[in-house]
Amino acid sequence: MSLLVVGSVAFDQIETPFGKSDKIVGGAGTYISLTSSYFTKDLGIVSVVGDDFPQSYIDLFHSKNVNTEGLEIKEGEKSFFWAGKYHNDLNSRDTLVTELNVLADFKPVVPAKLKNAEIVMLGNLSPDVQLSVIDQMETRPKLIVLDTMNFWMDIALDDLKKVISRIDVLTINDEEARQLSGEYSLVKAANKIIAMGPKVLIIKKGEHGALLFNENEVFFAPALPLEEVFDPTGAGDTFAGGFVGYLAKTNDTSFENMKRAIIYGSAMASFCVEKFGSVRIENLSETEINERVQQFVDLVQFDISL
Ligand code: AMP
């Protein structure tokens, strides 16, 4: 299935208990499209950067078959910049800087070739940009997946609720699910959020895995206990990229297949955290991915006879 990815393409500066990065390439759209490219060759990105964005990364997108016709480059302007600092447990972080720059007045244009994409992955960006992309699709995509964060809940909740009412799957972390629903229990939160529109909700819990809910069922994918966790930035986006990539590859958007897709998402995210930025997901082999997925299968497989 064809895939359209929308999301920030950006510079990040990251501080973890293990070190501090320089300004490096990041952004939700970067992580999602690099990750999805391991599963489908029919994908494109819609985003915006300034003329400070390195050509080498645009070349990297091309080498992975990511169509960049929808990646606008604004001359004389600066790319989105985000800086964050992780706490000691790596499960929580503080945003130190958010400079929207080119994102401040971004009017996305979906290229003709991508207007009939069957899966649309709306990565972290302002809700009005996400809405505009939905409105530009010629046919209603088979699946619209949305990722967002507390930043947009704080400053654009009404628009965010509008997008949420028009999508199929929402992925957010546990803190954000609580903020959006006003419920502490994640089960109650899931019920409230599903009532806002999406048929499926994924709650990401960092090193504690991810929960997949629909109206009647809940499924759990663990996170792999890793010896080295270096930098969790982009893990949520990489998860989303693996999730939609797997659905696109297998041409199946059923809830049963989503259970497998969140295992793939978790496996891809487990690579992402092993190095600073997107480095680890830039060059993976099929064997490495298969072996990692097998580790997930081994982690949770057990026999009980009752
Ligand atoms: P994650 O760790 O998966 O939540 O994603 C981190 C990425 O999100 C970083 O690469 C940032 O560039 C990007 N990001 C952070 N804040 C925003 C925002 N307000 N809008 C869009 N992208 C953002």
Give the distance (Å) from ligand 1 centre to CA of residue 30.
10
Vertex 16 angle, CA 241 and 53, to 5°: 55
Which pLDDT score is estimated for 92? Answer: 83
Question: Is residue 239 in contact with ligand 1, taking CB distance under 6 Å?
Answer: no
- On whether the CB atoms of residues 226 and 208 are closer than 8 A, the answer is no
Average pLDDT estimate for 242-246: 98
Q: What does the alpha-carbon distance between residue 174 and residue 149 come to, in Å, rounded to a whole number?
A: 11
- On whether the CB atoms of residues 91 and 223 are closer than 8 A, the answer is no
Mutation pick for ligand 1 pocket among 31, 102, 103, 149 (CB with most ligand atoms within 8 Å): 149
Tokens of 124: 């972290």
Higher pLDDT, 264 or 306: 264
For atom 9 of ligand 1, the residue with the nearest CA is 27
Res 64 pLDDT > 90: yes
Residue 163 identity: V
What is the chain's mean pLDDT, rounded?
Answer: 96
The residues with which 3 forms a beta bridge, in sequence order, are 43, 119
Q: What does the alpha-carbon distance between residue 287 and residue 260 come to, in Å, rounded to a whole number?
A: 18
Which pLDDT score is estimated for 257? Answer: 98
Average pLDDT estimate for 200-227: 95
CB neighbours of residue 72 within 10 Å = 17
Res 76 pLDDT > 90: yes
277 CA: nearest ligand 1 atom: 10
Give the distance (Å) from ligand 1 centre to CA of residue 234.
7
Among residues 228, 221, 217, 277, the alpha carbon closest in space to that of 246 is found at: 221
CB neighbours of residue 175 within 10 Å = 16
pTM (2 d.p.) = 0.96
Give the distance (Å) from ligand 1 centre to CA of residue 151.
10
For atom 10 of ligand 1, the residue with the nearest CA is 27
Question: Is residue 163 in contact with ligand 1, taking CB distance under 6 Å?
Answer: no
| Domains identified in the chain and CATH numbers | 3-9+28-70+111-300 (3.40.1190.20)
Q: What does the alpha-carbon distance between residue 209 and residue 265 come to, in Å, rounded to a whole number?
A: 10
Q: What does the alpha-carbon distance between residue 272 and residue 37 come to, in Å, rounded to a whole number?
A: 14
Q: What does the alpha-carbon distance between residue 89 and residue 40 come to, in Å, rounded to a whole number?
A: 34
Res 11 pLDDT > 90: yes
Tokens of 236: 């949520």
For atom 12 of ligand 1, the residue with the nearest CA is 27
Give the distance (Å) from ligand 1 centre to CA of residue 305.
45
Pairing of strands 210-213, 200-204: antiparallel
Question: Is residue 27 in contact with ligand 1, taking CB distance under 6 Å?
Answer: yes
For atom 1 of ligand 1, the residue with the nearest CA is 234
Question: Is residue 123 in contact with ligand 1, taking CB distance under 6 Å?
Answer: no
Please state the separation of Cα 108 from the chain's center in Å: 18
Question: Is residue 28 in contact with ligand 1, taking CB distance under 6 Å?
Answer: yes
What pLDDT digit, counting tens, does each position of 85-141 carry?
Answer: 999 888 788 999 999 999 999 999 999 999 999 999 999 999 999 999 999 999 999
Tokens of 189: 């939160």
Helix (H, G, I), strand (E, B) or coil at 188: helix
22 pLDDT band (50/70/90 cuts)?
Answer: very high
**Angle between helical axes of 235-250 and 255-272 (0-180°, round to 10):** 140
